[in-house]
Structure 1
Amino acid sequence: MPTRGALRRTAARLRAKMPVHVLAIGSSSTQGIGASSPAAAYPARLELALEQRFPGANVEVINAGKAGETADRTLERLNAELDRIKPDLVLWQVGTNDALNASVSEPKFEAVVERGILSIERHKSDVLLVDPQFIKKVVDPARYERFVQTLERVAEKEHICLFSRYHLMKTLEASADGGVEPLLAPDGLHMNDAGYACIAERLAGQIQNIVTQPGL
């Protein structure tokens, strides 16, 4: 039986071919800064990717991204979005702005994420965390990696899913296929259409693997 990473509500609704409402919340990577249009942002691309992987499914991914937010600001919006949408699955992209903001302490970040997870679970929604993106040049790379590790630790402790953009992008950067530059917007930070498409396809694949586990 699976322990960490079970999206039971989402799996049940997909099996029954019932509508699946997904709330994608977070900062600029969710909003789609750097994309050519909202349709090229990862939430819109994910909706298409999930419907392709689950023929006959009716999946709606609602984009509630807001550029520049740290976790505590997203948390201020989260309960209202949960009440409004009543999602089956929440994708919380979190940590990049917190890691880059020296005024955000690591314990505070961890506590905020845990409060957000509790709120999501109280609303009977599945939750999947999306961790920070890999950035080649940061002022304090050790601090940045600790925020990534914090999310890994929280996901393990709370037995919830985690999609690691960080390790995906870091692996791509070390590959012989041009690194991460082809996936980035001209600012070198945000993703472009190709980057968002890559994230959406990998995330859809992970969700598919999770919800088709035996015993779910």
Structure 2
Amino acid sequence: MPVRVRSLLRGVASACLAATLSLAVGGAAFARGEAVACPDVAPVMGLALPHLKAAIAHNVQAVIVAFGSSSTQGWMASDAAHTYPAVLQRLLSRALPATHLAVINRGIGGQDAAEELARLDQDVIALRPQLVIWQVGANGALEGIDPALFKRLVVAGIRRMQGAGIDVVLMDNQRAPRILASREHLLMEHSLAEIASVTGSGMFARSALMDAWQAAGRPYAEFIAADKLHQNDLGYRCVAEALARAIVAGLGSGEMVSTH
């Protein structure tokens, strides 16, 4: 394994240990967030993950990169342990105890397709992951990016990752007031679904997920932070639970264990 990847994985392990110790001592905010169960409803999101599945089958270090903007970095989470990649790491480690697995957070707030494409080689491909979860389109929707340009950029990024032997799963936008107020948010959703279809990448639709939650009586606002844009601890955790279930199902590895 390359030295840089080993170093990064040691850092991830240290961060996970710190997060575990933090969870052990607890805190009022954490206790409140963990006391609320995630909705027991999610649309079916079939994910084909041949490269990740092969790595696990051959007992190779499994590396997942969470790539994106502030929703990946974890803005408005109470701390790093409550970001969706950190929760996903814990859930997958619990569900796949025989697998040595790392989820590496490569989210940078304020970015979208153009900026993320510019750092794709260094921040993603150099880590040699088997799976990348690319959360993209929120800032594009807020800033009114040209849809044709958005599609070209995202398709180019996916093709580069697929050429490097990486499974790609796209993640679309959360149902937050500031996203919903954008004239482009539905276009972003449709564009990402079309890109997934054209490229053969996976699609994890937060939009459809949160619609299902609301239809089940859990309003969008329950999962959104005070800034009316990002998710709160509960939102990040419930997204991670649904994503972990989709990944485990894609691996054919049985039923996902929830945080409760």
Q: TM-score, normalised by structure 2?
A: 0.75
**Following the alignment from structure 1 to structure 2, what is the Cα–Cα distance between the partners of residues 72 and 148?**
17
**Following the alignment from structure 1 to structure 2, what is the Cα–Cα distance between the partners of residues 66 and 140?**
21
Which deviations, in whole Å up to 9, do the C-alpha atoms of 1:130-172 show, x marking residues without a partner? Answer: 111123453344x211110111011111111110001111222
Which of the two has higher C-alpha Rg? 2
Which deviations, in whole Å up to 9, do the C-alpha atoms of 1:105-142 show, x marking residues without a partner? Answer: 0000000000000111121111111111123453344x
Q: Give the equivalent residue in structure 1 for 2:162.
A: 121
Q: Specify which of 121, 141, 158 is matched with residue 99 of structure 1.
A: 141
Q: Give the equivalent residue in structure 2 for 1:39.
A: 81
How far the C-alpha of 1:193 sits from its partner, in A, is: 1.1
Kept in 2, the 8 Å contact 1:5–1:159? The answer is no
Listed as ranges, the matches of 1:132-211 within 5 Å are 132-136=173-177, 138-141=180-183, 143-177=184-218, 179-211=219-251
Listed as ranges, the matches of 1:49-64 within 5 Å are 49-64=91-106
How far the C-alpha of 1:72 sits from its partner, in A, is: 0.7
Kept in 1, the 8 Å contact 2:113–2:150? The answer is yes
Q: Give the equivalent residue in structure 2 for 1:20.
A: 62
Matched, 1:11 2:53: yes
Which deviations, in whole Å up to 9, do the C-alpha atoms of 1:38-92 show, x marking residues without a partner? Answer: 1110011101111111121111011010001111111111111234311111110
Kept in 2, the 8 Å contact 1:94–1:129? The answer is yes
**Following the alignment from structure 2 to structure 1, what is the Cα–Cα distance between the partners of residues 129 and 229?**
29
Higher relative contact order (CA 8 A, sep 6+): 1
**Following the alignment from structure 1 to structure 2, what is the Cα–Cα distance between the partners of residues 101 and 175?**
31
Identity %: 33
Secondary structure at 2:132 match in 1: strand
Q: Bigger CA drift: 202-211 or 127-136?
A: 127-136
Q: Which amino acid aligns with 2:204?
A: F
**Following the alignment from structure 2 to structure 1, what is the Cα–Cα distance between the partners of residues 164 and 75?**
29
Kept in 2, the 8 Å contact 1:14–1:54? The answer is no
Q: CA RMSD in A?
A: 1.6
**Following the alignment from structure 1 to structure 2, what is the Cα–Cα distance between the partners of residues 125 and 176?**
37
Secondary structure at 2:168 match in 1: strand
Q: Which amino acid aligns with 1:127?
A: V
Q: Give the equivalent residue in structure 2 for 1:77.
A: 119
Kept in 2, the 8 Å contact 1:134–1:166? The answer is yes
Which ranges of structure 2 fall in alignment gaps of 5 or more residues? 1-45, 254-260
Which ranges of structure 1 fall in alignment gaps of 5 or more residues? none
Kept in 1, the 8 Å contact 2:224–2:235? The answer is yes
Q: TM-score, normalised by structure 1?
A: 0.90
**Residues 150 and 83 from structure 1, CA distance in 2 versus in 1: closer, same or farther, beyond 3 angstroms?**
closer
**Residues 194 and 140 from structure 1, CA distance in 2 versus in 1: closer, same or farther, beyond 3 angstroms?**
closer
